[in-house]
Chain A
Amino acid sequence: MTSQPDPAGCSVNESRVGEVSVVAVAGTVDMLTAPQLEEAINSAAKSSPSAIVVDMSAVEFLASAGMGVLVAAHEQLGDAARFAVVADGPATSRPLKLVGIAEVVDLFATLDEALAALKT
Chain B
Amino acid sequence: MTDVGQSAQFTKDVRAAPEDAAQIRREFSSWLSTHFTLDPTKASDVVLAVNEALANAAEFAYVNAPAPGLMHVRADYDGDASVLTVTISDDGAWRISETDHKNPARGRGIPLMRALTDHAVIDSNQAGTEVRLQWRHIDQDCGSRTT
Contacts and interface: CB of A to CB of B under 8 A. Distances in A.
Given A32-B19, A99-B111, A71 B104 contact: yes
Interface residues of A, number: 26
A8 interface: yes
A5 to B, nearest CB: 15
Contact of B52 (A7, A32, A64): A64
A90 B115 CA distance: 13
Interface stretch (B38-46, B74-82, B134-142): B38-46
B112 A69 contact: no
A95 B109 CA distance: 11
B122 interface: no
A63 interface: yes
Interface string B17-28: 011011001100
Interface residues of B, dominant DSSP = helix
Contacts of B41: 90, 94
B108 A68 contact: yes
Contacts of B111: 99
Contacts of B112: 64, 95, 98-99
B105 A68 contact: yes
Q: Which of B22, B43, B106 has the most CB of A within 10 A?
A: B22
Contacts of B104: 71, 75, 104
B105 A63 contact: no
Contacts of A71: 104-105
B22 A67 contact: no
A90 B105 contact: no
B115 A63 contact: no
A75 B105 CA distance: 9
B32 interface: no
Interface in A90-118: 90-91, 94-95, 98-99, 101, 104
8 contacts: A8-B22, A32-B18, A63-B48, A67-B108, A69-B105, A72-B105, A90-B40, A91-B48
